[in-house]
Chain A
Amino acid sequence: MLEVRGLVTGYGGVPILRGLSLDVAEGEVIAVLGANGVGKTTLNRAISGLNHVMSGVIRFEGEAISGLSPPEIVARGLIHVPEGRKIFPNMSVRENLELGSYRRGKGNRTRNLERIFTIFPRLLERTDQFAGTLSGGEQQMLAIGRGLMAEPKLLILDEPSLGLSPLLVEELFALIARIASEGLAVMLVEQNVVQSLELASRAYVLEHGAIAMQGLAADLKRDPELEKTYLGL
């Protein structure tokens, strides 16, 4: 479904990722792990069209999407829930969700809103509250909900557990599992190794601008190398 081949991307002409390749198959949950500053967010930004692809190719459902604009990529059903949520603080919860279907899924807006509210009942209690006044966990749910409003085929989640209490992380991962069980492909970018490997079927570990390890989540979980690579020892 998603194919990344030899991706080189960075900022201001300086590459951060130097020839990265990975795949996500239909309906699959994969985890992308890696230490701080290794380039996970940069990878997501390149996939969703925010960062310039210097070389290599990104294909989605068989078609090259490198070079397309973010709205064009959204239109194809590849939805990126960014690190730091990037919700619209000056707008209500409902408006945030509505804008999730600005480009895609507009026809099913009402139905999808109801669906989001059953997945995230906390949001239903706060439909008219300004998004900027939500708690961190609620904001994360809103960001994911906004992504789901676009009826994604592939959902990229960039550190959804960032800044959440362990209990809330637990709840959030359960919700992600539930969303994924409906057949949606998920690329989970995380620092939270243990829980991510629990959820994902396969995982990639990023290091020095490329994939350093990859394999089945169950195998990686038992791999002593992982901790070493992951912690960058």
Chain B
Amino acid sequence: MLKLDIFLSALANGLMTGAVYALIALGLTLVYGVLHIINFAHGAMLTAAMFAVFICHAWLGIDPYLAVFILTPLFFGLGYAIQRLVISPASHGDDSNILLVTLGLSIIIENGLLMGFRSDTRSIDVPYGFSVIEIGNLFLSTPKVIAFVAAFVVAGLLGLLLVRTDTGKAIRAVAKERTGAALSGIDVEHIYAVTFGIGAACLAIAACLLMPTFLVNPRAGNAFVLVAFTIVVLGGMGSIGGALIGGLIIGVVESLSGLYFGESLGQIGIFLIFILVLLFRPTGLFGAKA
């Protein structure tokens, strides 16, 4: 009986963490699907967002769940500006240059944070940090339940945006047919920047959801993005639904392998999956066939 409880609680924990992983992967996969590049600055941007949450809370006294309404538009704007003013002009329209530019960006952000905050690990103290929600014999961390629900709401909203709005349709159009999009009157550069902005906004939301239970240091984002990258590959590069399901799977795998192989080996299961997917289904679970 106890065994089952532990298993269930690990499962629930995995699902909840997985939902936030999915949110981080969502931005990565969207940018890949539309701009056809892997944003190497994704991890550093997540770290920056986590520090932004830290600053909001520690210096300005703003609760993370309130900060989300400030940081999401702020990071959208930052992402938009970075794509429009830095990545696009510096890459001269060459995809391989974009990779280098985002790599350079990540180095700048990371070292900027190191300069400002040293390599110390910081956390924020919120009153609900250790509160739990009791469901039967399960005790679920309240911030994690909130993160789980919020991640789904965000994914749903993003889905609606992509399907229902002209901007969303333009994003999908640009992803597959740039020339046709331009000739339909779509400003491709603008859409790239919007997409990049959405990716950054997802990171800001993820950061607000993470900070009540996680720690931040200038390299904190990298670990998440490594996992997010696995999710993107598992779900199929560029697939939104794939990122969501992939995130949940990876969250559960990490949690269960932590349970059975020990906490420090929790990520082994993830990379095992990564290798298996690359070997047997390189297009991912939901990716288009090559």
Contact = CB atoms under 8 A, between A and B. Distances in A.
A196 B185 CA distance: 27
Contacts of B182: 49-50, 69-71
Interface residues of B, number: 17
Given A91-B169, A91-B173, A99-B170, A86 B185 contact: no
Interface residues of A, number: 29
Given A90-B172, A98-B169, A103-B186, 9 more contacts: A69-B182, A69-B187, A71-B182, A86-B179, A87-B180, A89-B176, A99-B166, A103-B185, A150-B184
B262 to A, nearest CB: 44
A193 B177 CA distance: 30
A75 B185 contact: yes
A82 interface: yes
Given A71-B187, A75-B185, A102-B186, A86 B177 contact: yes
Interface in A56-110: 69-71, 74-75, 79-82, 85-91, 95, 98-100, 102-104, 106
B233 interface: no
Contacts of B184: 74, 99-100, 102-103, 146, 150
A126 B182 CA distance: 24
Interface of B: 166, 169-170, 172-173, 175-177, 179-187
Report which residue of A50, A81, A89, A90 has the largest number of chain B beta carbons within 10 angstroms of its beta carbon: A90
Contacts of B172: 88, 90-91, 95
A29 B172 CA distance: 34
A150 B169 contact: no
10 contacts: A69-B182, A70-B183, A70-B185, A71-B187, A82-B180, A88-B172, A95-B172, A100-B184, A102-B170, A103-B186
A90 B169 contact: no
